[in-house]
Amino acid sequence: MYIEDTIAAISTPHGEGGIGIVRISGGNAEAIGRRLFRFRKGGDFTSHYLHYGAVTEPESGGMIDEAMAVLMRAPNSYTREDVLELHCHGGMLVVERVLAAVLACGARLAEPGEFTRRAFVNGRIDLLQAEAVMDVIAAKTEASLALAQRQREGALSLKIGEIRQALTRSLAFVEAYIDFPEDDIGQTDNDALRVAADDVLVSIGRLLSGFDEGRILREGISVLIVGKPNAGKSSLLNCLLRENRAIVTPIPGTTRDVIEESINLGGLAVRLLDTAGIRHTDDVVEREGISCALDKIPLADLVLFVLDTSRFFDDEDRLILDAVRGKRTIAVLNKCDLPMAIELPPEITTLPQAVISAGAALGVDGLRELIRTTFLHDVPLDSREFVAISRARHRDALVSARSHLQRFLSGLEEGRELETLAIDLRDALSAVGQVTGEISTDDVLDMIFSSFCIGK
Amino acid sequence: MHCYETIYDVIVVGAGHAGCEAALAAARIGCSTLLLTINLDAIALMSCNPAIGGLAKGHLVKEIDALGGEMAKNIDATGIQFRILNTRKGPAVRASRAQADKQLYRLRMKRIMEQQDNLFLKQGEVTGLYLEGNELRGVDTRSGIRFLGKTVVLTTGTFMRGLIHIGLTNYPGGRAGDLPSLGLSDQLRDLGFQVGRLKTGTPARLDGRTIDFSRLEAQYGDDPPVPFSFSTGRITMPQVPCHIAYTNQRSHDIIRSGLDRSPLYAGVIEGVGPRYCPSIEDKVVRFPDKERHQTFIEPEGLETVEVYPSGMSTSLPIDIQIPFYRSIEGLEHVEIMRPAYAIEYDYVDPIQLYASLETKPIPNLYHAGQINGTSGYEEAAAQGLMAGINAALRTKGLNPLVLGRSEAYIGVMIDDLITLGTKEPYRMFTSRAEYRLLLREDNADLRLREKGYSVGLVPEADFERFLRKRELIAAEYERICSSRIVMDSREHEFLSTHGLSDIQKGTTFEQLLRRPEVTYGELAEFDDVSRETVPEVREQVEIQVKYRGYIERQLEQVERARKLESTQLPADLNYSSIHGLTTEVREKLSRNRPETLGQASRIPGVTPAAISVLSIALKSDSWKRAGSETRLEEA
Q: What is the pLDDT of residues B493-526, one digit of tens each?
A: 999 998 888 888 999 999 999 888 889 999 999 9
The least confident of B84-93, B372-381, B458-467 is B84-93
Residue B610 in contact with partner chain A when CB distance is under 8 A: yes
Total-model pTM: 0.75
Question: Is A198 an interface residue toward B (CB < 8 Å)?
Answer: no
What is the pLDDT, as a whole number, of residue A295? 73
pLDDT at position B425 is: 94
pLDDT of residue A289 exceeding 60, the answer is: no
Is A5 an interface residue toward B (CB < 8 Å)? no
**Are A445 and B431 a contacting pair at CB < 8 A?**
yes
Q: How confident is the model at residue B218 (pLDDT cuts 50, 70, 90)?
A: very high
Rounded to an integer, the average pLDDT of B88-111 is 95
Do the strands B205-207 and B242-246 form a parallel or antiparallel pair, or are they unpaired? unpaired
A452: nearest CA in chain B?
Answer: B287
**Does the structure show a pLDDT above 70 at B395?**
yes
Whether A339 contacts chain B with CB within 8 A: no
Instruction: Judge: A419–B90 Cβ closer than 8 Å, yes or no.
Output: yes
More confident residue, A64 or A268: A64
Go through A314-347 and write b for each residue having 16 or more CB atoms within 10 A of its CB, e for each that does not.
Answer: eeebeebbebbeeeebbbbbbbbeeeeebebeee
Q: Taking 70 as the threshold, does the pLDDT of residue B41 lie above it? A: yes
Q: What is the pLDDT of residue A257?
A: 41
- Is the per-residue pLDDT at A287 higher than 90? no
Q: What stretches of B133-241 adopt beta strand conformation (E)?
A: 135-141, 145-154, 163-166, 169-172, 195-202, 205-207, 217-219
More confident residue, A151 or B170: B170
Cα distance between residue B202 and residue B339, in whole Å? 9
- Average pLDDT over chain A reads 76
Q: Are B96 and B61 within 8 A, CB to CB?
A: yes
The answer to whether residue A286 scores a pLDDT higher than 50 is no
Query: What value does the mean pLDDT of chain B take?
Result: 93
Q: How high is the pLDDT of residue A254?
A: 29
Rg (alpha carbons) of chain A, rounded to whole number: 28
Residue B102 has a pLDDT of: 98
Nearest to A385 by CA among A218, A206, A215: A206
User: Quick check: B219 and B244 in contact, CB under 8 A?
Assistant: yes
pLDDT at B50: 98
Nearest-by-Cβ selection for B56 from A179, A418, A456: A179
- Residue B96's pLDDT is 97
Among A75, A426, A437, whose Cβ lies nearest the Cβ of B631?
A: A75
Q: What is the pLDDT of residue A92?
A: 65
Strand arrangement of the beta sheet that strand A353-355 belongs to: A250-252, A258-265, A268-275, A221-227, A302-308, A329-334, A353-355
Task: State pLDDT tens for residues B245-276.
Answer: 999 999 999 999 999 999 988 888 888 888 88
Position A279 scores a pLDDT of 33
Higher pLDDT, B396 or A43: B396
| Exposed / middle / buried, residue A50 (Cβ in 10 Å: 0-12, 13-18, 19+) | exposed
Q: Which residues pair with residue A192 across a beta bridge?
A: none
Q: Write out chain B residues lying below 8 Å of A414, CB-based.
A: 516
Alpha-carbon distance B493 to nearest alpha carbon in chain A (angstroms): 26
For residues A3 and B309, the model is more confident at B309
- Outline where A220-304 has alpha helix (H): 233-242, 282-288, 291-295
- Per-residue pLDDT for A130 more than 50? yes
Element (H, E) at B53: strand B51-53
Question: Alpha-carbon distance A309 to A319, whole Å?
Answer: 17
Q: Closest-CA residue in chain B for A119?
A: B580
Nearest by CB to A453, from B287, B416, B634: name it: B287
Q: Report chain A residues whose CB lies below 8 A from the CB of B53.
A: none
For range A3-26, the mean pLDDT: 77
Task: Provide the pLDDT confidence category of residue B52 given band limits of 50, 70 and 90.
Answer: very high
> Band of the pLDDT at A91, cuts 50, 70, 90?
low
pLDDT of residue A11 exceeding 90, the answer is no
Residue A281 has pLDDT above 50, yes or no: no
Query: Of chain A residues 162-191, which have a CB less than 8 A from chain B?
Result: 175, 178-184
Cross-chain residue pair A75–B93, CB shorter than 8 Å? no
Rounded Cα–Cα distance for residues A315 and A437 (Å) = 56
Assess contact for B441 and B58: CB atoms under 8 A: yes
Contact status of B310 with chain A (Cβ, < 8 Å): yes
B182-186 average pLDDT score: 95
Cβ distance B634 to A418 less than 8 Å, yes or no, reads no
**Nearest CA-CA partner of B354 in B404, B266, B418:** B418
Q: Is A419 on the interface with B (CB under 8 A)?
A: yes
Q: What Å distances lie between residue A323 and A201, A292, A356, B601, CA to CA? A: 37, 12, 23, 53
Query: Which of A53-62, A121-130, B456-465 bottoms out in mean pLDDT, i.e. has the lowest?
Result: A121-130
- For residue A439, give the chain B residue with the closest CA: B604
pLDDT at A168 over 80: yes
Interface A-B: count of C-beta contacts within 8 A: 123
pLDDT at A9: 86
In A, residues 230-269, which contact B (CB 8 Å cutoff)?
Answer: none
Q: How far is B621 from chain A (nearest CA, A)?
A: 14
In Å, how far from its chain's centre is CA B534? Answer: 30
ipTM of predicted assembly, 2 dp: 0.84
Partner-chain residue, chosen from B54, B547, B608, that has the shortest CB–CB distance to A437: B608
With pLDDT > 90 as the criterion, what percentage of chain B qualifies? Answer: 79
Of A35-44, B372-381, B384-393, the range with the lowest mean pLDDT is A35-44
Most distant CA pair in chain A, distance: 90
Burial class (CB in 10 A: 0-12, 13-18, 19+), A238: middle
